[in-house]
């Protein structure tokens, strides 16, 4: 099976140490994490991990069920890139002098749909959201004009299917719990 890029979304309780518990599962399998974002999900108290890795679907599937074994993990999904809309944010710092010494930078900002966040006498911060290839391309174009600092966030992603999978999952989980309580 071919390796390809997958976006893993894990919904978890917001507890200390869970980040570690999850990342060591990748280490143990010698999988390199390309990007990792953790933040609160739409449901209060539930965190969402978005993890980008390249591997075979078979290995990713097995990994996801094993992530789900953790007591504090509610659910773990994985998606191919065409199944999600995903973005990253990049910030570029250039000297204000180079911004003002011609219109190259301003043109690039317009051309790449980026925007200027802050201008100070010393430096200017430009922001662009997009796929990694796009933010990278802007970096390469800006760099000849002197990029002082460049940083890119991890990926955030939303599925293309129209239901929020987690709420559906939580409803189902409640139903299952009730059935189990009834049977036991």
Binding stretches for another protein (CB under 8 A): 12-13, 16-17, 20-21, 24, 28, 62, 65-66, 68-74, 173, 176-177, 179-181, 183
Identity of the residue, 30 or 69, whose beta carbon is nearer to another protein in the bound complex:
69
Distance CA 37, CA 49 (A): 6
Cβ at position 8, least distance to another protein in Å: 15
Q: What CA–CA distances, in Å, run from 113 to 110, 130, 133, 138?
A: 5, 9, 14, 10
Query: 57-68 and 18-28 are packed helices; what angle lies between their axes, rounded to 10 degrees?
Result: 150
Nearer to another protein, 10 or 90 (CB): 10
Closer of 25 and 116 to another protein (Cβ): 25
**Closest approach of another protein to the CB of residue 30, in Å:** 14
Of 53, 123, 132, residue with least CA distance to 90: 132
Q: What minimum distance in Å lies between the beta carbon of 154 and another protein?
A: 22
Contacts of 64 (CB under 8 A, 6+ apart): 8, 10, 76, 77, 78
**Adjacent-strand bridge partners of 13:** 46
| Length of the chain (residues) | 184
Report the alpha-carbon angle 90-91-92, nearest 5.
125
Minimum distance, C-beta of residue 15 to another protein, in the bound complex (Å): 8
- 77's tokens: 């999904």
What's the closest the beta carbon of residue 170 comes to another protein, in angstroms? 8
Nearer to another protein, 151 or 179 (CB): 179
């Amino acid at each position: 099976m071919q390796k390809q890029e997958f976006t893993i979304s894990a919904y978890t309780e917001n507890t200390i140490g869970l980040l570690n518990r999850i990342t060591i599962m990748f280490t143990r399998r010698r999988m390199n994490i390309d990007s990792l974002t953790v933040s609160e999900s739409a449901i209060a108290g539930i965190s969402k991990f978005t993890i980008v890795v390249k591997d075979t679907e078979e290995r990713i599937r097995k990994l996801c069920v094993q992530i789900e074994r953790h007591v504090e993990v509610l659910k773990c999904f994985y998606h191919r890139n065409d199944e999600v809309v995903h973005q990253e944010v990049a910030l570029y710092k250039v000297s204000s002098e180079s911004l003002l010494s011609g219109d190259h930078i301003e043109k690039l900002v317009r051309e790449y749909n980026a925007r200027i966040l802050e201008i100070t006498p010393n430096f200017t911060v430009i922001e662009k959201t997009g796929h990694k290839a796009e933010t990278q391309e802007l970096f390469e174009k800006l760099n000849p004009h002197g990029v002082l600092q460049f940083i890119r966030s991890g990926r955030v992603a939303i599925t293309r299917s129209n239901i929020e999978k987690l709420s559906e999952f939580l409803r189902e989980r409640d139903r299952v719990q009730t059935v189990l309580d009834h049977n036991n």
